[in-house]
Chain A
Amino acid sequence: MKLTLRIWRQKDAKSAGRFVTYPIDNISPNCSFLEMLDILNEELIGKNEDPVVFDHDCREGICGMCSLYINGRPHGPDDAVTACQLHMRKFRDGDTIIIEPWRARPFPVIKDLMVDRSAFDKIIQEGGYVSVNTGGAAEANNILVGKEFAELAMDAAACIGCGACVAACKNASAMLFVSAKISQFALLPQGQVEAKQRVKKMVKMMDELGFGNCTNTYACEAECPKLISRSNIARMNREFLCAKVS
Protein backbone atom coordinates (compact mmCIF):
# COMPACT_ATOMS: atom_id res chain seq x y z
CA MET A 1 0.00 0.00 0.00
CA LYS A 2 1.09 3.52 -0.74
CA LEU A 3 -0.13 6.10 1.75
CA THR A 4 0.23 9.74 2.66
CA LEU A 5 0.46 10.39 6.39
CA ARG A 6 -0.24 13.78 7.92
CA ILE A 7 1.00 13.60 11.48
CA TRP A 8 0.86 16.13 14.32
CA ARG A 9 4.43 16.98 15.31
CA GLN A 10 5.09 18.91 18.49
CA LYS A 11 8.55 19.20 20.00
CA ASP A 12 7.39 19.38 23.61
CA ALA A 13 4.46 20.47 25.78
CA LYS A 14 5.34 24.16 25.46
CA SER A 15 6.12 24.33 21.75
CA ALA A 16 3.55 25.00 19.05
CA GLY A 17 2.78 21.96 16.93
CA ARG A 18 2.05 21.50 13.23
CA PHE A 19 1.10 18.81 10.76
CA VAL A 20 3.92 17.23 8.79
CA THR A 21 3.28 15.16 5.67
CA TYR A 22 5.10 11.86 5.17
CA PRO A 23 4.65 9.70 2.07
CA ILE A 24 5.09 6.00 2.85
CA ASP A 25 5.23 3.01 0.51
CA ASN A 26 5.34 -0.80 0.60
CA ILE A 27 2.99 -1.13 3.58
CA SER A 28 1.40 -4.56 3.92
CA PRO A 29 -2.39 -4.54 4.40
CA ASN A 30 -1.75 -7.04 7.21
CA CYS A 31 0.38 -4.56 9.14
CA SER A 32 -1.10 -3.18 12.30
CA PHE A 33 -1.42 0.59 12.45
CA LEU A 34 1.37 0.85 15.01
CA GLU A 35 3.63 -1.39 12.91
CA MET A 36 3.06 1.01 10.04
CA LEU A 37 4.21 3.85 12.31
CA ASP A 38 7.23 1.74 13.34
CA ILE A 39 8.19 1.42 9.66
CA LEU A 40 7.83 5.17 9.24
CA ASN A 41 10.00 5.76 12.30
CA GLU A 42 12.70 3.41 10.98
CA GLU A 43 12.75 5.44 7.77
CA LEU A 44 12.94 8.70 9.75
CA ILE A 45 15.78 7.39 11.95
CA GLY A 46 17.58 6.21 8.80
CA LYS A 47 17.37 9.77 7.49
CA ASN A 48 18.61 11.10 10.85
CA GLU A 49 15.24 12.69 11.57
CA ASP A 50 13.33 12.73 14.84
CA PRO A 51 10.96 9.72 15.00
CA VAL A 52 7.26 10.23 15.69
CA VAL A 53 6.51 9.76 19.37
CA PHE A 54 3.35 7.80 20.18
CA ASP A 55 2.13 5.85 23.19
CA HIS A 56 2.02 2.06 23.02
CA ASP A 57 2.72 -0.90 25.25
CA CYS A 58 1.05 -4.31 25.05
CA ARG A 59 -0.10 -4.08 21.41
CA GLU A 60 -2.82 -6.60 22.32
CA GLY A 61 -5.62 -4.13 22.99
CA ILE A 62 -5.59 -4.54 26.76
CA CYS A 63 -3.23 -1.94 28.21
CA GLY A 64 -5.00 1.25 27.10
CA MET A 65 -1.85 3.08 26.02
CA CYS A 66 -2.83 3.74 22.39
CA SER A 67 -4.06 7.28 21.94
CA LEU A 68 -4.30 8.09 18.26
CA TYR A 69 -7.10 10.09 16.67
CA ILE A 70 -7.09 8.73 13.13
CA ASN A 71 -9.08 10.38 10.33
CA GLY A 72 -11.60 11.86 12.76
CA ARG A 73 -12.07 8.84 15.01
CA PRO A 74 -10.28 7.74 18.20
CA HIS A 75 -8.46 4.47 17.44
CA GLY A 76 -9.36 4.82 13.75
CA PRO A 77 -12.05 3.55 11.42
CA ASP A 78 -12.64 0.11 12.98
CA ASP A 79 -15.16 -0.49 15.78
CA ALA A 80 -14.37 -1.81 19.26
CA VAL A 81 -10.61 -1.99 18.78
CA THR A 82 -7.65 0.01 19.99
CA ALA A 83 -5.24 1.53 17.45
CA CYS A 84 -2.79 -1.35 18.00
CA GLN A 85 -5.48 -3.80 16.88
CA LEU A 86 -6.33 -1.72 13.82
CA HIS A 87 -4.97 -3.15 10.58
CA MET A 88 -3.97 -1.34 7.43
CA ARG A 89 -6.50 -3.34 5.40
CA LYS A 90 -9.10 -0.95 6.85
CA PHE A 91 -7.57 1.72 4.58
CA ARG A 92 -7.33 1.91 0.81
CA ASP A 93 -4.21 2.16 -1.27
CA GLY A 94 -3.46 5.83 -1.89
CA ASP A 95 -5.34 7.07 1.18
CA THR A 96 -4.29 10.12 3.13
CA ILE A 97 -4.34 9.36 6.85
CA ILE A 98 -4.45 12.25 9.32
CA ILE A 99 -3.17 11.34 12.78
CA GLU A 100 -3.77 13.64 15.74
CA PRO A 101 -3.24 13.26 19.50
CA TRP A 102 -6.20 13.14 21.92
CA ARG A 103 -7.45 16.69 22.34
CA ALA A 104 -8.67 17.73 25.78
CA ARG A 105 -7.57 20.33 28.31
CA PRO A 106 -6.81 17.66 30.96
CA PHE A 107 -4.77 15.66 28.38
CA PRO A 108 -1.93 18.02 27.42
CA VAL A 109 0.36 16.93 24.59
CA ILE A 110 3.78 15.83 25.85
CA LYS A 111 5.35 15.31 22.43
CA ASP A 112 3.93 14.60 18.97
CA LEU A 113 1.09 12.09 19.47
CA MET A 114 1.77 11.34 23.14
CA VAL A 115 -0.53 12.94 25.69
CA ASP A 116 -0.41 13.06 29.47
CA ARG A 117 -3.36 11.03 30.77
CA SER A 118 -2.41 11.21 34.44
CA ALA A 119 -5.70 13.07 34.95
CA PHE A 120 -7.34 9.63 34.92
CA ASP A 121 -4.95 8.46 37.64
CA LYS A 122 -5.91 11.47 39.77
CA ILE A 123 -9.59 10.53 39.45
CA ILE A 124 -8.84 6.93 40.45
CA GLN A 125 -6.82 8.17 43.44
CA GLU A 126 -9.98 9.86 44.72
CA GLY A 127 -11.75 6.57 45.33
CA GLY A 128 -11.45 4.13 42.43
CA TYR A 129 -10.57 1.32 44.80
CA VAL A 130 -11.89 -0.57 47.82
CA SER A 131 -9.92 0.28 50.94
CA VAL A 132 -11.72 -1.96 53.40
CA ASN A 133 -9.14 -4.04 55.21
CA THR A 134 -10.29 -7.63 55.12
CA GLY A 135 -7.27 -9.38 56.52
CA GLY A 136 -6.48 -12.61 54.75
CA ALA A 137 -8.23 -13.68 51.57
CA ALA A 138 -11.88 -14.31 52.44
CA GLU A 139 -13.77 -17.44 51.43
CA ALA A 140 -15.21 -16.61 48.02
CA ASN A 141 -18.72 -17.78 48.88
CA ASN A 142 -18.99 -15.75 52.08
CA ILE A 143 -20.47 -12.84 50.16
CA LEU A 144 -22.76 -14.07 47.43
CA VAL A 145 -23.03 -11.95 44.29
CA GLY A 146 -25.80 -12.45 41.74
CA LYS A 147 -24.54 -13.47 38.31
CA GLU A 148 -26.27 -10.54 36.62
CA PHE A 149 -24.46 -8.05 38.90
CA ALA A 150 -21.16 -9.89 38.61
CA GLU A 151 -21.41 -9.74 34.81
CA LEU A 152 -22.28 -6.03 34.79
CA ALA A 153 -19.43 -5.27 37.20
CA MET A 154 -17.04 -7.26 35.02
CA ASP A 155 -18.24 -5.40 31.90
CA ALA A 156 -17.55 -2.07 33.64
CA ALA A 157 -14.17 -3.30 34.86
CA ALA A 158 -13.20 -4.01 31.24
CA CYS A 159 -12.45 -0.28 30.84
CA ILE A 160 -8.75 0.07 30.01
CA GLY A 161 -8.66 3.83 30.63
CA CYS A 162 -7.37 4.68 27.16
CA GLY A 163 -9.31 7.96 27.00
CA ALA A 164 -11.04 7.32 23.66
CA CYS A 165 -14.30 8.36 25.36
CA VAL A 166 -12.81 11.78 26.14
CA ALA A 167 -11.27 12.04 22.68
CA ALA A 168 -14.54 11.19 20.91
CA CYS A 169 -16.81 13.36 23.05
CA LYS A 170 -17.48 16.78 21.57
CA ASN A 171 -17.21 18.13 25.12
CA ALA A 172 -14.11 16.15 26.12
CA SER A 173 -16.17 14.59 28.89
CA ALA A 174 -14.77 11.74 30.98
CA MET A 175 -18.17 10.53 32.18
CA LEU A 176 -17.90 7.07 30.57
CA PHE A 177 -14.50 6.37 32.13
CA VAL A 178 -15.48 7.65 35.59
CA SER A 179 -18.83 5.88 35.49
CA ALA A 180 -17.18 2.56 34.58
CA LYS A 181 -14.76 2.91 37.48
CA ILE A 182 -17.63 3.74 39.85
CA SER A 183 -19.95 1.04 38.49
CA GLN A 184 -17.47 -1.80 38.91
CA PHE A 185 -17.66 -1.20 42.66
CA ALA A 186 -21.24 0.09 42.97
CA LEU A 187 -22.52 -3.23 41.62
CA LEU A 188 -20.69 -5.34 44.19
CA PRO A 189 -21.27 -5.62 47.95
CA GLN A 190 -17.58 -4.93 48.63
CA GLY A 191 -17.95 -1.52 47.01
CA GLN A 192 -20.95 -0.41 49.04
CA VAL A 193 -19.07 0.70 52.14
CA GLU A 194 -17.40 3.64 50.39
CA ALA A 195 -19.96 4.09 47.60
CA LYS A 196 -21.27 7.55 48.53
CA GLN A 197 -17.86 9.00 49.29
CA ARG A 198 -16.41 7.44 46.14
CA VAL A 199 -18.88 8.90 43.68
CA LYS A 200 -18.78 12.37 45.21
CA LYS A 201 -14.98 12.56 45.33
CA MET A 202 -14.38 11.10 41.88
CA VAL A 203 -16.94 13.41 40.25
CA LYS A 204 -15.48 16.39 42.10
CA MET A 205 -11.99 15.57 40.83
CA MET A 206 -13.32 15.02 37.30
CA ASP A 207 -14.82 18.52 37.38
CA GLU A 208 -11.72 20.11 38.89
CA LEU A 209 -9.47 18.65 36.21
CA GLY A 210 -11.50 20.46 33.55
CA PHE A 211 -13.21 17.64 31.69
CA GLY A 212 -16.39 18.70 29.88
CA ASN A 213 -19.95 17.78 30.73
CA CYS A 214 -21.89 14.89 29.22
CA THR A 215 -24.52 15.99 26.70
CA ASN A 216 -25.73 12.47 25.93
CA THR A 217 -24.48 12.17 22.36
CA TYR A 218 -23.04 8.73 23.27
CA ALA A 219 -19.98 9.19 21.05
CA CYS A 220 -18.01 7.75 24.00
CA GLU A 221 -19.93 4.48 23.87
CA ALA A 222 -19.64 4.33 20.07
CA GLU A 223 -15.84 4.63 20.19
CA CYS A 224 -15.04 2.66 23.33
CA PRO A 225 -12.74 -0.24 22.36
CA LYS A 226 -14.13 -2.23 25.27
CA LEU A 227 -17.79 -1.47 24.52
CA ILE A 228 -18.43 0.14 27.90
CA SER A 229 -22.15 0.90 28.02
CA ARG A 230 -23.73 4.30 28.58
CA SER A 231 -25.87 2.58 31.24
CA ASN A 232 -22.83 3.05 33.50
CA ILE A 233 -23.24 6.82 33.16
CA ALA A 234 -26.89 6.50 34.23
CA ARG A 235 -25.78 4.35 37.18
CA MET A 236 -23.20 6.97 38.19
CA ASN A 237 -25.87 9.69 37.98
CA ARG A 238 -28.13 7.59 40.24
CA GLU A 239 -25.28 6.94 42.66
CA PHE A 240 -24.42 10.63 42.70
CA LEU A 241 -28.00 11.76 43.25
CA CYS A 242 -28.51 9.23 46.05
CA ALA A 243 -25.19 10.20 47.68
CA LYS A 244 -26.14 13.88 47.60
CA VAL A 245 -29.70 13.66 48.91
CA SER A 246 -29.20 10.99 51.58
Chain B
Amino acid sequence: MNSSFLRFSSITKKIWMAFLGLFLMIFLVVHLGINLCLLRNDDGAWFSAAAHFMGTNYIVKVFEIGLFAGFILHVLFGIILQVQNWMARPVRYMVTNKTYTPFLSKYMIYTGGIVLVFLIIHFMNFYFIKLGWVANPNLAPDGEPKFYVIARELFRSPAYSILYILMFIVLGFHLNQAFQAAWQTLGVNHPRYNSFIGRFGTFYAIIVPLGFIIIPVYFLLIR
Protein backbone atom coordinates (compact mmCIF):
# COMPACT_ATOMS: atom_id res chain seq x y z
CA MET B 1 0.00 0.00 0.00
CA ASN B 2 1.30 3.41 -0.97
CA SER B 3 2.24 5.45 2.11
CA SER B 4 0.52 8.48 0.61
CA PHE B 5 -2.75 6.69 1.42
CA LEU B 6 -2.39 8.24 4.87
CA ARG B 7 -2.29 11.77 3.50
CA PHE B 8 -5.88 12.75 3.80
CA SER B 9 -7.25 14.40 0.71
CA SER B 10 -10.94 15.29 0.55
CA ILE B 11 -11.79 11.99 -1.16
CA THR B 12 -9.68 9.95 1.26
CA LYS B 13 -11.55 11.45 4.20
CA LYS B 14 -14.84 10.74 2.50
CA ILE B 15 -13.87 7.14 1.75
CA TRP B 16 -12.95 6.64 5.41
CA MET B 17 -16.26 8.20 6.42
CA ALA B 18 -18.11 5.80 4.14
CA PHE B 19 -16.26 2.67 5.31
CA LEU B 20 -16.69 3.58 8.96
CA GLY B 21 -20.33 4.52 8.47
CA LEU B 22 -21.10 1.13 6.91
CA PHE B 23 -19.22 -0.58 9.75
CA LEU B 24 -21.32 1.33 12.29
CA MET B 25 -24.47 0.29 10.45
CA ILE B 26 -23.49 -3.37 10.87
CA PHE B 27 -22.88 -2.78 14.57
CA LEU B 28 -26.29 -1.16 14.90
CA VAL B 29 -27.94 -4.43 13.80
CA VAL B 30 -26.00 -6.34 16.49
CA HIS B 31 -27.05 -3.75 19.08
CA LEU B 32 -30.67 -4.05 17.99
CA GLY B 33 -30.51 -7.84 18.32
CA ILE B 34 -29.39 -7.48 21.95
CA ASN B 35 -31.93 -4.76 22.73
CA LEU B 36 -34.79 -6.84 21.35
CA CYS B 37 -34.06 -9.34 24.15
CA LEU B 38 -35.70 -6.75 26.42
CA LEU B 39 -39.03 -7.65 24.86
CA ARG B 40 -38.92 -11.20 26.31
CA ASN B 41 -40.99 -11.67 29.42
CA ASP B 42 -38.14 -13.38 31.30
CA ASP B 43 -37.26 -10.65 33.79
CA GLY B 44 -34.25 -9.68 31.69
CA ALA B 45 -32.56 -13.10 31.66
CA TRP B 46 -31.67 -13.06 27.94
CA PHE B 47 -30.79 -9.37 27.90
CA SER B 48 -28.56 -9.70 30.97
CA ALA B 49 -26.83 -12.75 29.50
CA ALA B 50 -26.22 -10.88 26.24
CA ALA B 51 -24.95 -7.79 28.11
CA HIS B 52 -22.69 -10.00 30.23
CA PHE B 53 -21.30 -11.70 27.12
CA MET B 54 -20.68 -8.36 25.39
CA GLY B 55 -19.03 -6.97 28.51
CA THR B 56 -16.74 -9.88 29.27
CA ASN B 57 -15.88 -11.68 26.02
CA TYR B 58 -12.34 -10.85 24.93
CA ILE B 59 -13.07 -11.01 21.20
CA VAL B 60 -15.93 -8.56 21.70
CA LYS B 61 -13.61 -6.31 23.68
CA VAL B 62 -11.18 -6.18 20.76
CA PHE B 63 -14.06 -5.30 18.43
CA GLU B 64 -15.15 -2.71 20.96
CA ILE B 65 -11.84 -0.85 20.52
CA GLY B 66 -12.34 -0.91 16.75
CA LEU B 67 -15.90 0.26 17.16
CA PHE B 68 -14.97 3.25 19.29
CA ALA B 69 -12.04 4.15 17.05
CA GLY B 70 -14.34 3.91 14.03
CA PHE B 71 -17.01 5.99 15.69
CA ILE B 72 -14.58 8.72 16.80
CA LEU B 73 -12.96 8.86 13.34
CA HIS B 74 -16.38 9.01 11.64
CA VAL B 75 -17.34 11.99 13.82
CA LEU B 76 -13.92 13.63 13.46
CA PHE B 77 -13.83 13.37 9.67
CA GLY B 78 -17.43 14.57 9.52
CA ILE B 79 -16.56 17.69 11.52
CA ILE B 80 -13.37 18.40 9.52
CA LEU B 81 -15.20 18.03 6.20
CA GLN B 82 -18.03 20.26 7.40
CA VAL B 83 -15.70 23.03 8.60
CA GLN B 84 -13.93 22.93 5.21
CA ASN B 85 -17.32 23.11 3.51
CA TRP B 86 -18.31 26.20 5.48
CA MET B 87 -14.96 27.81 4.64
CA ALA B 88 -15.47 27.10 0.93
CA ARG B 89 -18.27 29.68 0.74
CA PRO B 90 -17.36 32.65 2.94
CA VAL B 91 -19.99 34.90 1.31
CA ARG B 92 -23.42 33.28 1.37
CA TYR B 93 -26.15 33.74 -1.22
CA MET B 94 -28.95 36.12 -0.34
CA VAL B 95 -31.56 33.77 -1.80
CA THR B 96 -31.56 30.32 -0.23
CA ASN B 97 -30.74 27.63 -2.77
CA LYS B 98 -33.86 26.19 -4.41
CA THR B 99 -32.22 23.30 -6.22
CA TYR B 100 -33.96 19.95 -5.70
CA THR B 101 -32.02 17.67 -3.37
CA PRO B 102 -33.08 14.45 -1.59
CA PHE B 103 -34.95 15.03 1.68
CA LEU B 104 -32.66 16.13 4.54
CA SER B 105 -29.53 15.31 2.49
CA LYS B 106 -28.27 18.84 3.14
CA TYR B 107 -28.53 18.42 6.89
CA MET B 108 -26.37 15.35 7.57
CA ILE B 109 -24.10 17.27 9.93
CA TYR B 110 -27.12 18.34 11.99
CA THR B 111 -28.82 14.93 12.10
CA GLY B 112 -25.40 13.44 12.90
CA GLY B 113 -24.90 16.02 15.66
CA ILE B 114 -28.28 15.18 17.23
CA VAL B 115 -27.37 11.49 17.20
CA LEU B 116 -24.00 12.31 18.80
CA VAL B 117 -25.65 14.26 21.64
CA PHE B 118 -27.99 11.35 22.30
CA LEU B 119 -25.10 8.89 22.21
CA ILE B 120 -23.32 10.85 24.93
CA ILE B 121 -26.49 10.60 27.07
CA HIS B 122 -26.69 6.91 26.18
CA PHE B 123 -23.07 6.32 27.23
CA MET B 124 -23.68 8.07 30.54
CA ASN B 125 -26.67 5.82 31.16
CA PHE B 126 -24.98 2.56 30.23
CA TYR B 127 -21.40 2.36 29.01
CA PHE B 128 -19.81 4.76 31.49
CA ILE B 129 -21.53 2.86 34.31
CA LYS B 130 -19.80 -0.29 33.10
CA LEU B 131 -16.49 1.55 33.12
CA GLY B 132 -17.22 2.87 36.61
CA TRP B 133 -17.10 6.49 35.46
CA VAL B 134 -20.72 7.13 36.45
CA ALA B 135 -22.13 5.92 39.78
CA ASN B 136 -25.29 3.80 39.73
CA PRO B 137 -27.08 2.02 42.58
CA ASN B 138 -28.20 -0.86 40.32
CA LEU B 139 -25.20 -3.10 40.82
CA ALA B 140 -25.19 -6.89 41.30
CA PRO B 141 -23.29 -8.33 44.31
CA ASP B 142 -20.31 -9.05 42.02
CA GLY B 143 -20.24 -5.36 41.02
CA GLU B 144 -21.63 -5.87 37.49
CA PRO B 145 -24.29 -3.28 36.61
CA LYS B 146 -27.85 -4.57 36.31
CA PHE B 147 -28.36 -3.27 32.77
CA TYR B 148 -31.83 -4.76 32.50
CA VAL B 149 -33.01 -2.81 35.56
CA ILE B 150 -31.34 0.37 34.31
CA ALA B 151 -32.94 -0.03 30.86
CA ARG B 152 -36.37 -0.87 32.28
CA GLU B 153 -36.38 2.18 34.56
CA LEU B 154 -35.25 4.48 31.75
CA PHE B 155 -37.87 3.21 29.33
CA ARG B 156 -40.59 3.60 31.95
CA SER B 157 -39.77 7.32 31.98
CA PRO B 158 -41.95 9.01 29.32
CA ALA B 159 -39.46 11.88 28.90
CA TYR B 160 -36.53 9.53 28.19
CA SER B 161 -38.63 7.29 25.96
CA ILE B 162 -39.88 10.22 23.86
CA LEU B 163 -36.30 11.51 23.52
CA TYR B 164 -35.22 7.98 22.54
CA ILE B 165 -37.97 7.65 19.92
CA LEU B 166 -37.30 11.10 18.44
CA MET B 167 -33.59 10.36 18.27
CA PHE B 168 -34.15 7.16 16.31
CA ILE B 169 -36.43 8.98 13.86
CA VAL B 170 -33.58 11.46 13.29
CA LEU B 171 -31.12 8.56 12.98
CA GLY B 172 -33.43 6.97 10.40
CA PHE B 173 -33.22 10.09 8.20
CA HIS B 174 -29.43 10.17 8.69
CA LEU B 175 -29.11 6.51 7.66
CA ASN B 176 -31.44 6.84 4.69
CA GLN B 177 -29.10 9.38 3.09
CA ALA B 178 -25.92 7.81 4.48
CA PHE B 179 -26.31 4.32 3.03
CA GLN B 180 -26.56 5.26 -0.64
CA ALA B 181 -24.07 8.11 -0.14
CA ALA B 182 -21.52 5.67 1.29
CA TRP B 183 -21.71 3.42 -1.76
CA GLN B 184 -21.51 6.41 -4.10
CA THR B 185 -18.39 7.56 -2.22
CA LEU B 186 -16.88 4.10 -2.51
CA GLY B 187 -17.43 4.30 -6.25
CA VAL B 188 -20.40 1.96 -6.48
CA ASN B 189 -22.78 3.60 -8.93
CA HIS B 190 -24.30 1.51 -11.68
CA PRO B 191 -27.79 1.66 -13.21
CA ARG B 192 -28.20 -2.03 -12.41
CA TYR B 193 -27.56 -1.63 -8.66
CA ASN B 194 -28.51 1.96 -7.82
CA SER B 195 -32.18 1.20 -7.35
CA PHE B 196 -31.43 -1.75 -5.04
CA ILE B 197 -28.95 0.29 -2.98
CA GLY B 198 -31.46 3.13 -2.59
CA ARG B 199 -34.33 0.81 -1.62
CA PHE B 200 -32.21 -1.29 0.72
CA GLY B 201 -30.95 1.87 2.42
CA THR B 202 -34.49 3.12 2.94
CA PHE B 203 -35.59 -0.32 4.16
CA TYR B 204 -32.70 -0.42 6.66
CA ALA B 205 -33.34 3.19 7.74
CA ILE B 206 -36.95 2.31 8.56
CA ILE B 207 -36.66 -1.22 9.99
CA VAL B 208 -33.66 -0.76 12.29
CA PRO B 209 -34.83 2.48 13.98
CA LEU B 210 -38.33 1.00 14.19
CA GLY B 211 -36.89 -2.03 15.99
CA PHE B 212 -35.31 0.28 18.58
CA ILE B 213 -38.48 2.38 18.88
CA ILE B 214 -40.66 -0.67 19.64
CA ILE B 215 -38.81 -1.20 22.94
CA PRO B 216 -39.74 2.06 24.78
CA VAL B 217 -43.25 1.84 23.35
CA TYR B 218 -43.52 -1.69 24.78
CA PHE B 219 -42.29 -0.60 28.23
CA LEU B 220 -44.48 2.51 28.28
CA LEU B 221 -47.73 0.97 27.07
CA ILE B 222 -47.62 -2.74 27.81
CA ARG B 223 -45.36 -3.47 30.78
Chain A residues close to B by CB (< 8 Å):
19, 69, 71-74, 98, 100, 103-106, 168, 170-173, 203-204, 206-207, 210-219, 222-223, 230-231, 233-238, 240-241, 244-246
Contact = CB atoms under 8 A, between A and B. Distances in A.
A92 to B, nearest CB: 16
B88 A245 contact: no
B94 interface: yes
Main secondary structure of the interface of A (DSSP, over half): mixed
Interface centre among B5, B97, B100 (most CB of A within 10 A): B97
B87 A105 contact: yes
B57 interface: no
B99 interface: yes
Contacts of A223: 99
B157 interface: no
Given A203-B9, A238-B187, A103 B101 contact: no
B85 A237 contact: no
B93 interface: yes
B95 A216 contact: no
A207 B84 CA distance: 10
Contacts of B102: 217-218
B165 interface: no
B116 to A, nearest CB: 17
B81 interface: yes
Contact of A171 (B13, B89, B181, B185): B89
Contacts of B14: 213-214, 237
A72 B92 CA distance: 11
22 contacts: A19-B94, A73-B97, A73-B99, A98-B94, A104-B89, A170-B97, A171-B88, A173-B88, A203-B11, A206-B10, A212-B84, A215-B108, A216-B181, A217-B105, A219-B97, A231-B190, A234-B185, A234-B189, A235-B187, A237-B15, A237-B184, A244-B12
Nearest to B80: A213
A15 B88 CA distance: 20
B106 A217 contact: yes
B184 A170 contact: no
Contacts of A235: 187, 189
A103 B13 CA distance: 24
B85 A171 contact: yes
A69 to B, nearest CB: 6
A98 B95 contact: yes
B173 to A, nearest CB: 14
B184 A216 contact: yes
Nearest to A171: B85
A104 B88 contact: yes
B25 interface: no
B81 A213 contact: yes
Nearest to A196: B2
B5 A244 contact: yes
B9 A204 contact: yes
B85 A72 contact: no
Contacts of B94: 19, 98, 100
B95 A72 contact: yes
A245 B1 contact: yes
Contact of A103 (B89, B177, B184): B89
B98 interface: yes
A207 B87 contact: no
